[in-house]
Structure 1
Amino acid sequence: MANKFAKTLVQMGVKRGDIIGLTGRNVPEWLIANFGVQMAGGCPLCLPYQEREDQITKLLNSVESVKMLIMDPGVEGRNCHISEYVVDKGNGKVECKSIPALENVILFYPNERMSSAYTVAELCSRHLDLELPRIDPEDVGFVSLSSGSSGLPKAIPSSHHALVVIAWHCYSLLLRQPGEDILYNDRPFSWVAGYPAWEMAACGTRVTLTNTLHSSSIVDAVKTATNLITKEKAIKAFLVPSMLELAMKRKIHLKIKKAVTSGVVVHASLLECIDKICDELQVLYGMTEMGYLGSRVFTSDDKARVQDMLLGVRPCPWVEVKITDDHGHLQPVGQRGNILIRSKTRFTGYLNHDLPPQTEDLLLKSGWFYPKDGGYVSENGLLFVEGRLQEMIQVFGRKMYPFEIENVINAKSNVIAAIVLPIKDMETGDHVPSAAIIYQPQNEDSMESMQDYLRKEFNITEENQLLECLYVPQVIVGFKTFPALANGKLDHEAIRKTMQRKLTKEQICRLSFQ
């Protein structure tokens, strides 16, 4: 199917190196389109499903020369709003002033609202006698996007060779079990974490969801995932930390051999899921720019051994890690600082963003990439990632990461999830903590009650009152659910804006998220 689709794309004018927009759910048409574009010599630009029209326009223009958009019209054509305004009545031909390079729109399947557009099935039905171009392994074969939590998502190119390397790394980290191996992974195909790399390398079976974001709440998402894992008899499952924590708090029945999780910060409290939910817990550290970077598998024996607040990972054999201070000097073992990464999966820059000159110079000269994560390396060689540097709390010259406060808030039985964000004190210039919290229904704390709880947990007394500015959020806002970006990740910017709107007149005079 992908071969026929590729030949039709070549006939339509797709040439080696052309960037083709691709947006859709986890359905077969996405896979056919992705591999078809690659076989035709093009490069799929993976866009979030059901993204806003203006954001899609900005993304396509930022990458430049995107000549074709292949898209999922969605259930009952709900996603057609993205392309309705650019398609005329001539078989998918496009006239669009806002996206001048765009020439064609192809739908995953027919929709009456765009009856003139070609479909994937229609293009796969053609029998063409032509040769596909020979692909150079170093050609760009895939463009993924960063989360976009701090602005327009960054377009990250990967070569065909890099995709093969990522597939091998994925296979080596998630070793296939003897017999049939079944992995539950509901991450979108368009993400590096959801791209069908493990399936290609391990030839295992993957269980997924058509649309991860369809769930009405995190609780509903956890229940859907657990039902599917049980029904399909998955041996291991990708589950984000919040899903594992919620499954434990809500006592949702789930039992699996291995739970695989990842995130910038993974709290040690997650070890409690071992024996309750899984036999083993595997923690991964990686990034879209460079793939998988670190891993560690925990068993029930580790529950008593681990003394740290976070779970560290061991850098992968193909990865080098160093910790530096703000001047680029190496930090001693155990000392906090900036994490720098060098990998065989080399990252060379973004298609639509310029790297800061210092970062670009370092990357091009020596291969070291600065992802703006902070942490340290322990004496036994484990990497502990403590958080994003821009999210640090800074008071009276002392710096700390939000996870230290988040851990304590999340330990309360009536808390489902908590995010701690820095807010600027306009008088002192310090970045003091604020908290966004999702409580159990009808079991919310007042701000004063939560603050008293934190004072007690951090042992703040009259003798050390200044610590309150560091550990006790001055702004606490309750949420029913956290807003998410189109790719499913939490929208920190939207959370900040909501919290800013809820500041009192007194707080507005001295505090700001801006």
Structure 2
Amino acid sequence: MDHSYLSSKESLDIPYITFPDLLRKWAEKNPNKTAFIFVDEEVDRYELSFGELYDKATKFAKALIGHGVRKGDVIALNGRNLPEWLIACFGIQLAGGSPLCLPYLQKKNDFVKVCSKLGRVKMLIIDPGSDGQNCQFLKEMICTDFGTNNVELPEIPDLRQVFLFNHHASLPSVNTVAELCSREWDVDLPRLDPEDLGLILLTSGTTNTPKAVPYSHHALVITAYNSIHLMKTSGKYDSLYNNRPFYWIGGFVMWEVNSGGSRVTLINAMKSSSMATAAAAVKTCEIIAREKVTVALLVPSMLDLVMKKNISLRLKTIVTGGMIVHSSLLKNIHKLCDEFICMYASTELALIACNTFTEKDITNTTKGLLSCRPLPGIEIKVTEDDGFLLPAGQRGSIQVRSTRRFNGYLNQNLPPESKETLERTGWFCPDDGGYVTEDGELVVEGRLQEIIQVFGWKKMFPFEIENVIKTKSNVSSAIVMSLKDKETGDLPPFAAIVYHPNDEESCESMQDYIRKEFNITTENRMLEYLCVPRGIVSFKQFPVLANGKPNRRAIRQIILETVDSEKYE
């Protein structure tokens, strides 16, 4: 391959329908089939069938219309992975509205910031929380007559009503999802079009303010069909373990609603999503075995723990993604599954690329990062900063174009140049860097804004240093990021490390270890400026965002407070 351009030669026969049409198909075809299995913290389980979900969602949709919801309204939805979340989400869609998926336990300022910029947010449907945490959130945030559910919030003037997932003693008069979908409403549901706005997802906000990403109904259907293509599964024989929150693109209910298969999920997904501990890994594997799961979505850190601790796990397929995946993960993966699928996705474009690995691939893939290929309907290219195509093998900016076009955010403008390119050509830059291999596969190396470079010399992505740091047995987690040298413009590395309890080491000791691993000597001293963090800050645990991901802005600020603020920014 000469140039860094990839496209899929496959195509899918995707119907032009709305997203609730997928659910209705299974509710009519196999109403008693279990659609979801919810597992709580005590590992007790609760089931929800396709028929029950569609019936309650339809009743809830009519209740929303009875409470004044009209086609095109945006309804904020905040909660854990519960049946009420699904009933509310599909109910909003059937009523002609658009669910705005908010992270569970979101802070007031973030909620106000998102909703005030979006406008037309008419209602909030919220999980009170396992201990009523969100009830206090409501009382502090909204001047409400909880007897009538009427709301007055100056920063969000369109917000008029609040409903809870279920009753809580501190707000006894507030209506709940269960109550509303148990009543009969003499109203008609609106006619929906596949191009209607069907969902609003938020980006993680890992490095900036979360951005609102719109999905039409048809865009959701496309993603649902790609999910089946990616996992090579059918709902008749397969079940999926996915404990990602419903409000993430990686956790939204795509595969199960399209395939008719069963999904196993944790109710309090965020409690374990950011905690890759041995106890969490054991619990996950026990649930997968008990529920006879055939496909599991597991993050690399969880898989690493399962293999290191020799925790019993065996199933047909494991899917991973959402972060950089090193090929060393393949070394023992054949002991856990028959097929290992690595995927690349973004909130803006959903599923972008994937690759399937089996035991025979272990000897062929031993170094670097795992690669992937575009999914049907996807084009990928790697370009220079000025947008021109790079030769294969050269690092650059990843650009993506999809038949399901992303036209911009609802609450934030793209930079003028990016906006013009997107509108004119359809190419979108997810702000990721990587390269195309000679074999025609994409390697994603990291975020462009986190790149490391000194003396205008070779560029380096943080994962290369992070992987070295993580090889030390006393390291639980590591994040490497660059800070800008105000005088030279260089972007040298700095590291944040979480050590295992009572096993911390000095900055100098870790720097010496990194020098040794990169084989830095007096003959190649330039490498030290590129590979060895100039400062290392230890954490008991990383601060996290509402979605469970490390709060890189907070981590960056803490690092800045420990270095010379006159020199770096």
TM superposition score normalised by structure 2 = 0.87
Larger relative contact order, structure 1 or 2 (CA cutoff 8 Å, min sep 6) = 2
Contact kept? 2:234, 2:261, Cα under 8 Å:
no
Q: Once the 2 structures are TM-superposed, how far is the Cα of residue 435 of structure 1 from its aligned partner?
A: 1.2
Residue 143 (structure 1) aligns with: 200
Larger deviation: 386-395 or 76-85? 76-85
- Summarize the alignment of residues 434-445 of structure 1 with structure 2, pairs less than 5 Å apart: 434-445=494-505
- Among 26, 43, 59, which residue is 2:81 paired with? 26
Deviations 1:312-356 (A, max 9, x none): 101112111111101111101111111110011210111000011
- Residue 396 of structure 1 corresponds to 455
Whether the 8 Å CA contact 1:137–1:161 is kept in 2: the answer is yes
Q: 2:276 aligns with which of 210, 218, 241?
A: 218
What is the match of residue 34 of structure 2? Answer: none
- Offset from partner CA, 1:226-252 (integer Å, 9 cap, x none): 221122121121111121122223333
Q: Distance in 2 between matches of 1:272 and 1:327?
A: 39
What is the aligned-residue RMSD (CA, Å)? 1.6
Match of 2:441 among 367, 376, 382: 382
Alignment check: 8 A CA contact 2:124 2:159 kept: yes
Name the amino acid aligned to 2:352: L
1:253 to 296, 312, 325: 312
Q: Helix, strand or coil for the counterpart of 1:508?
A: coil
Q: Distance in 2 between matches of 1:273 and 1:8?
A: 52
1:175-223 CA-to-partner distances (Å, cap 9, x unmatched) read 2258531110001111111111100111111110001222494204323
Distance 1:188 1:385 in 2: 24
1:182 paired with 2:201, answer: no
1:79-158 correspondence to structure 2 within 5 Å: 79-85=134-140, 86=142, 87-158=144-215
Rate the CA distance shift 1:36–1:148 in 2: closer, same or farther, 3 A.
same
2:519 equivalent in structure 1: 459
Q: Which amino acid in 2 is paired with 1:311?
A: L
Does the CA-based 8 Å contact 2:226-2:376 persist in structure 1? no
Question: How far is the alpha carbon of 1:112 from its aligned partner?
Answer: 2.0
Aligned 8 A contact 1:217 1:481 in 2 = no
* SS at 1:304 equivalent: coil
Q: Which consecutive unaligned segments of at least 5 residues does structure 2 have?
A: 1-55
Look up the equivalent residue of 2:245 and give its one-letter code.
Answer: P
Amino acid at match of 1:442: N
SS in 2 for 1:168: helix
CA separation in 2, counterparts of 1:95 and 1:327? 48
Does the CA contact (< 8 Å) of 1:53 and 1:81 recur in 2?
A: no
Residue 553 of structure 2 aligns with an amino acid whose one-letter code is E
Q: For residue 132 of structure 2, what is the aligned residue in structure 1?
A: 77
CA 1:84–1:178: 2 relative to 1, 3 Å: closer
User: What does the per-residue CA deviation read over 1:136-181, in whole Å, with 9 as the maximum and x for residues that have no partner?
Assistant: 1101000000001122210000001111111111111112258531
Provide the C-alpha distance between the structure 2 equivalents of 1:178 and 1:28, rounded to a whole number of angstroms: 20
Counterpart residue number, 1:14: 69
Q: Partner letter of residue 454 of structure 2?
A: V
Displacement of 1:103 in angstroms is 0.2
The equivalent residue for 1:430 is 490
Question: Match of 2:151, SS?
Answer: coil
Spell out the pairing of 1:275-314 with structure 2 (5 A cutoff). 275-314=334-373
- Which residue among 478, 486, 490 is the counterpart of 2:550? 490
Matched-pair contact (CA < 8 Å) for 1:375–1:386: yes
CA contact (8 A) 1:249 1:413 kept: no
Alignment of 1:327-342 (within 5 A): 327-342=386-401
TM superposition shift of 1:118: 1.2
**Cα deviations by residue, 1:100-143 (Å, 9 ceiling, x for unpaired):** 11100010011121222111111112212221000011010000
Name the TM-score, length of structure 1 as normaliser: 0.96
1:4 aligns with 2:59: yes
Matched residue type, 1:150: T
Unaligned runs of 5+ residues in structure 1 are: none
Offset, 1:284? 0.3
* Identity rate, percent: 51
Larger deviation: 474-483 or 318-327?
474-483
CA distance in structure 2 between the aligned counterparts of 1:364 and 1:177, rounded to whole angstroms: 36
Query: Match for residue 230 of structure 1?
Result: 289
Which deviates the most, 312-321 or 80-89?
80-89
SS at match of 1:114: coil
Quote the Cα distance in structure 2 between the aligned partners of 1:178 and 1:162: 21
Match of 2:564 in 1: 508
Aligned counterpart, 2:111: 56
Which letter does structure 2 place at the counterpart of 1:433? P
Question: Matches of 1:440 and 1:89 in 2, distance apart?
Answer: 47
**Alpha-carbon contact 2:235-2:259 (below 8 Å) kept:** no
Match of 1:357? 416
- Partners of 1:178 and 1:369 in 2: how far apart? 33
The size of the alignment, in residue pairs, is 509
Partner of 2:16: none
